[in-house]
Amino acid sequence: MTQDHDAAAATTDESRLLLKGLEEEVYTGTTDADALPLSHRIAADLRGFITEPDSRNVEYTTAPYRSYQVLLDRLMAQRRSRRYLNDIGNYTLIPGSTLSLVESDEFIIANPNNPYYRFIRDTYGTTVVTASTHINVGIPDPDQLIAAYRLLRAEASMYLALTANSPFLRGQPTGAHSERWRVFPPTPKVVPFFTDHAHFRAWVGEQLEQGTMFNPRHLWLAIRPNGVGTPHEIERLELRICDRISEPHVLGAVIAMFESRIWQVLEDPSLDPLAVRGEAELLEICARNERRAAESSLDATITDWRTGNDVRMRDWVEECWRGCFPTARAHGFADRLEPIGTILAEGNLAQQWLAQVAAGSTPREVLRRAMVELTEIDRQYDPDCPSPMPGDCGQNE
C-alpha cells in the first residue's frame, strides 16, 4: 500500500517535470593530461558510446528522464568508462573543452570512410575538436518549442558564462575563458529567430538545397530545435553552448535554470524577444553577448535583450537565477538551482584555473590537479573508479 502510494506520488511529481536528456563529449588520454585517439576502441567495446569526427574525444548519451536524480545517475554511470580506460593502458578522462596541451593542428579522423567526418575535417579542422555538454529538454508542441527557442537563444550566453572551462590552447592561456566557443564556427552564419515550426521547416529545407548545411543536423549554434525527424518532427530543445560540465551538481543546476525558463515561456507566451525588438537587432545582441561570454564569462559586460542596456553578466545571471525559483518551486525542483549561487560567488572552472596559473601553476599542472578532483567526484558514483595519479587508487576507500 505504501509502495503504491509512493509510486503514485512520484508519478504526480514527475508530471510537473519535462523530459531531459544529455549528450556529453569528453577527451581521453594520459594521466599527464595529453589527449590521445581512443574513441574507436571505446565505441567498439562499450555500449552507449559513439565516436566523434576526431578520435581524441568520445560521446555518450542518456535516454530522456523527467527525474533529475535518475538523469544524473545515468550520466555518471557512463563515466565508469574510466575503469575501461585504465585497463587498456592507464588512460583516463581529461578535463576541459579544448585540446588544451596539443601543439599540432592535426585532425585525427575517427573513421576516414565516413563522408560527414571527412567533410568536417576538411571544412573546419581542429576548431571543432571540442568537448561540451548538450542539454536536451522535451517540448511536445512544435510551435511552443520554437517560442522557447527564441527566448533561450536570447539568453544562451548566460549558460556559457556559468560553464566556461576552456582557457588553454597549446599549453598556454588564450586570453579567453571559453576558447572552445570563441573559435567554434557557427553554421550557417545567420540563423533566424524562427516565428513558428513552419518557418523552421522551410528554412532548413532551403539551407539543404543551397548546400549551406550538409544534413539537417548541421545546424551549429548556441541552441537549436531538434528531434528524430528534424526539421519536420521536432520534440526537444537542445542547448549546445555549454562547455563540458564535469560536476553533476553544477550540471543539475544549469539544467534546472534551463528548464525553469522553458516553463516560464510555456506558461507566459508574452516572453518573446521578437515582441520587444527586431530580429536584426536581436541577432547582433546575441552574437555580441556570446562573444563576450566566451572572452570573459561572468566578468563580461553584455547587453540585456529586454532593455537594450549594458549590464554585468554576473548581475544578469543572478537576476535570471533568482527569478527562476518560484517556477522551479512550483514544479518541484527548486533545490537543484542552489549551486548557481556558488558559481556566481566563486567563479566557474575557467576562472578558477586561470587564478591557479596567475599563482604560478602551469596549465598542465592545473589540468592534472583538476583530473584528480573530478575523479574524486566520479568516485562518489563508482567507488572503484581508478585514480589518474599513480599510487592514489583506493587511498580514501
Q: What is the pLDDT of residue 395?
A: 31
- DSSP tag of 244: P
Q: In sequence order, which residues have a C-beta less than 8 Å from that of residue 56 and are 6 or more positions away?
A: 27, 28, 29, 35, 36, 37, 38, 39, 99, 108, 129
CB 83 within 8 A of CB 382: yes
Question: Is residue 81 over pLDDT 90?
Answer: no
Q: What is the pLDDT of residue 382?
A: 76
Instruction: Indicate the domain borders of the chain.
Output: 18-379
What is the mean predicted confidence (pLDDT) over 222-237?
97
Residue 378 pLDDT grade (very low, low, confident, very high; cuts 50, 70, 90): confident
Q: What is the pLDDT of residue 113?
A: 96
d(CA 57, CA 50): 10
Q: What is the pLDDT of residue 345?
A: 98
Q: What is the pLDDT of residue 173?
A: 98
Q: What is the pLDDT of residue 14?
A: 75
The share of the chain scoring above pLDDT 90, in percent, equals: 88
Handedness of CA 381, 16, 334, 62 (dihedral sign): positive
d(CA 323, CA 318): 8
Q: What is the pLDDT of residue 396?
A: 31
Q: What is the pLDDT of residue 381?
A: 81
Q: Could you read off the pLDDT of 19-61 as tens digits, one per residue?
A: 999 999 999 999 999 999 999 999 999 999 999 999 999 999 9
SS3 of residue 310 by DSSP: strand
- Asked, as a colleague might, if the bond just before 188 is cis with ω within 30 of 0, I would say yes
- Strands 310-312 and 172-173, sheet pairing: unpaired
CB 260 within 8 A of CB 158: no
Comparing C-alpha atoms, which of 343, 314, 146, 332 is closest to residue 247?
343
- Cell readout for 259 is 528548464
Range name among 12-16, 64-68, 207-211 with the lowest pLDDT average: 12-16
Kindly provide the b/e burial profile for residues 145-156, where b requires at least 16 CB atoms within 10 angstroms of the residue's own CB: bbbbbbbbbbbb
Residues 18-379, CATH architecture? 2-Layer Sandwich (3.30)
Q: Could you read off the pLDDT of 201-213 as tens digits, one per residue?
A: 999 999 999 999 9
Q: Could you read off the pLDDT of 248-301 as tens digits, one per residue?
A: 999 999 999 999 999 999 999 999 999 999 999 999 999 999 999 999 999 999
Q: Decide which of 96 and 384 is more confident.
A: 96
d(CA 57, CA 37): 7
Q: What is the pLDDT of residue 380?
A: 84
- Cell readout for 11 is 508519478
Angle ∠(35,352,340) on CA atoms, nearest 5 = 105
Mean residue pLDDT of the chain comes to: 93
Classify residue 7 as exposed, middle or buried by CB count within 10 Å of its CB (0-12, 13-18, 19+): exposed
Q: What is the pLDDT of residue 11?
A: 44
Q: Could you read off the pLDDT of 156-167 as tens digits, one per residue?
A: 999 999 999 999
Range name among 16-20, 217-221, 332-336, 386-390 with the lowest pLDDT average: 386-390
- Given the C-alpha cell 552574437, which residue does it identify? 287
Nearest 10 degrees: Cα torsion 302, 318, 20, 10: -170
What is the mean predicted confidence (pLDDT) over 67-93?
92
Q: What is the pLDDT of residue 13?
A: 67
Q: Could you read off the pLDDT of 352-366 as tens digits, one per residue?
A: 999 999 999 999 999
Question: Is residue 4 over pLDDT 60?
Answer: no
What is the mean predicted confidence (pLDDT) over 165-177?
98
Comparing C-alpha atoms, which of 369, 360, 382, 373 is closest to residue 32?
369
Phi, psi of 117 (to 5 degrees): -60, -40
Range name among 168-182, 236-250, 262-276, 367-381 with the lowest pLDDT average: 367-381
Q: What is the pLDDT of residue 15?
A: 78
